Chains A and B, each alone.
Chain A
Amino acid sequence: MIAFIVRRLLFLPLLWLAITFIIFLCLEPLGPYQRVTLFINISPESFGRGGKLTQEQLQRLIDKYGLADPAPIQYGRWLKQIIFDHNFGWSKVAQKPVIDALLERLPATTELALYAIIPVVFVAIWLGVISAVHHNRPLDHITRFVSITGYSIPIFVFGIFMLMYFYGVLQWFPPGRNSLWAERIIFASHQFIRYTGLNTVDALLNQRLDILVDSLRHLALPVLTLAYLNWAALLRVTRSSMLETLRQDYITTARAKGLPEHIVVQKHAKRNALIPVTTISANIVAGLIGGVVITETIFNYKGVGIFSLDATLQFDIPTVLGVALFGTTLIVITNLVVDILYAIIDPRVRYD
């Protein structure tokens, strides 16, 4: 068990390093002058008196930071900057260091993702188990039909429809993260203390029900859209894994010794059937990243997703690199956690 975890702990940083190397390789085609804008924190103060850097100043910067050096040396330096100085460069889009801009927008995205993913996991697993238990009966057919249509409607088509109907026609759920008045209280008022950055939680802690309601109204549609992206996939995996498990010999044994069906399903089958489901949770995190970008774009919900998209469209490479590194780290950590969980649940994995 310990050997397994140690092996994983050693492998994943290697993976992280390899991914950062690939990301760095993508920058290879850029010349030193383009590079100068990427890794160095060019804040407005660093500009010359005329408001623009001169050619010599640029050359001096390139020499000083060694941007014309061979790639491996630059890679090492870049990595050192990121790991030890937490310096991801200067974000043109946000007009502040990338790391600050990222941390500022992170709570919004966290809030969205948490609300979207946690209920979905439970509902999808529950439905998947039910569907498998009622295999080839009406309930199973209905669930299958709903899930197959579910994952065929693209998330952006679904999102636009939600926005058109619930905002355009009914005017219930507006886009954005908060109404103007609420934003003014949250970000500018001294009475409102931002403990976590998650607006709903902060509103509760500050006992501001109006802000809680406002935040929930803005969250409803993005959460629904993002949740919708994941539930069908999760349901399918749970269902097929459960079907397979229910056909195992030990299930027959359990039934033969007279256990009631719900115990067989809940205790014997479901636990084992959930093992493959843990493996796809890493895929879900990867899928969430794309989903978050699309959802935030549709609903103009100002979080990391919309930030990274703006940066991509405006060629703000340091910001995109920062987001990519952040996302990679997130995926690597989830993989690690999933692997360890997997080893705890399923002893067979450890001896692999």
Chain B
Amino acid sequence: MILFKRFLKNPLSVVGFVLIIFFFLVAIAAPWLAPPERACPSVVYYLVPDWLLRPFMTDLPCEPFKMPRDGFKATPLPPNPEAWKTFFPPDWHLHPLGTTENRYDIWYGLVWGTRNALVAGILIVGCTLLVGLIYGSVSGFYGRLVDAVMMRIVDFVFALPTFLMTLVLVSIWGRGLDKIIFISIIFGWAGYARFTRGNILAVRELEYVAAAKALGANDRRIIFRHVLPNTIYPILILASLDVGSIVLGLSGFSFLGLGSGEDYSDWGQMIAFARNRIVGAAGGDLLQYWYTWIYPGITITLFVLAWNLLGDAVRDILDPRLRGSRRA
């Protein structure tokens, strides 16, 4: 409760929190804010992005995450105020925020891009956290040689140049968001493992662990029923705050053209489209295509900002070394 009060005292962190709620709402309401062209036969297609389905299904009957295209011209269309005259949500067929390169609707792309970003971010955090928790607990609980070897492996994973490894793997496997996400998971767990291990080491010698051992509990039971539940909350919070930077990294890869396919709702991809439209048509308004850049740009920035604001506040609260300064 004290922590929560301290959290409320910092207005910036509240702004961050509200923004995150907003993005979650947009992601949840995506089928209502921007209804896909055709209704899908199953709700699965709305919830699970294509990159997650494709490894298991060859033929997708319905792809709501793909941006609809208005005709076959390349030039963007400006925002249409007509679209806003209808009751909210605006009709994306009229392009409330305009279209980007190749006439992909920006409103549709941003709305479904939010869902895509959150699903990807949460998936990556969830998987890396799971691996890190298990790895770190085993390492911390057994200690000695096991610990030494396992931590050297963690050091090694830390030292791997992730960006370069991604380039290597993408050049072999081909581009795709599924591959980028898989790569982020296999290189991303080391930090959580180290953090968990530290916490486990602190808890391991406490009496209740000895008591559990005396009662004849086996190692697995001690780790997962007694030790882990007592150490898990700080890491859960810190990990959930990583969603912002992870989404930022993913959209960076999409911007470079290593991520999603061309028509996929992905913020980084939309910025890449804007790159082709930096200058307006010759002789005309130089900022003619401002909308291709500004809407996706603001969306990504707000998203990352929200997580950073919240993260900063929470880290300050969790870090006992900085607590003294707050009272002063």
**Which positions in A face B, CB cutoff 8 Å?**
15, 18-19, 22-23, 26-27, 29-30, 135-136, 148-149, 151-157, 160-161, 163-164, 167-169, 240, 243-244, 247, 286, 289-290, 293-294, 297-298, 308-309, 311-313, 315-317, 320-321, 323-324, 327-328, 331-332, 335
Contact = CB atoms under 8 A, between A and B. Distances in A.
29 contacts: A18-B156, A19-B159, A19-B161, A22-B160, A26-B168, A148-B312, A149-B305, A151-B308, A154-B252, A156-B272, A160-B275, A160-B278, A286-B161, A294-B255, A294-B256, A308-B167, A309-B167, A311-B171, A312-B170, A312-B171, A312-B258, A313-B257, A320-B167, A320-B171, A324-B167, A324-B168, A327-B161, A331-B159, A335-B159
Interface stretch (B46-54, B96-104, B320-328): B320-328
B195 to A, nearest CB: 17
Contact of A148 (B279, B286, B305): B305
Interface residues of B, number: 49
Interface in B146-181: 156, 159-165, 167-172, 174-175
Interface of B: 12, 156, 159-165, 167-172, 174-175, 248, 251-252, 255-258, 268, 271-272, 274-275, 278-280, 286-287, 290, 293, 296-297, 300-301, 304-305, 308-309, 312, 321-322, 324-325
A349 B222 CA distance: 35
A29 B159 contact: no
Contacts of A164: 278-279, 287, 290, 293
A92 B268 CA distance: 28
B284 to A, nearest CB: 12
A247 B325 contact: yes
B301 A324 contact: no
Contacts of B165: 22-23, 26, 324
A152 B304 contact: yes
A231 B275 CA distance: 24
Given A154-B248, A313-B258, A324-B161, 11 more contacts: A149-B305, A152-B308, A154-B268, A164-B278, A164-B279, A168-B287, A247-B325, A290-B252, A321-B168, A323-B167, A335-B159
Contact of A243 (B169, B308, B312, B325): B325
Nearest to B299: A157
B305 A154 contact: no
Contact of B293 (A23, A149, A160, A321): A160
B174 to A, nearest CB: 7
B325 A23 contact: no
A52 B28 CA distance: 55
Contacts of A15: 156, 159
A23 B168 contact: yes
Contacts of B274: 160
A322 B172 CA distance: 14
B271 A157 contact: yes
Most buried by A among B159, B272, B301: B159
A155 B325 contact: no
Contacts of B257: 309, 313
A152 B244 CA distance: 9
Most buried by B among A156, A286, A294: A156
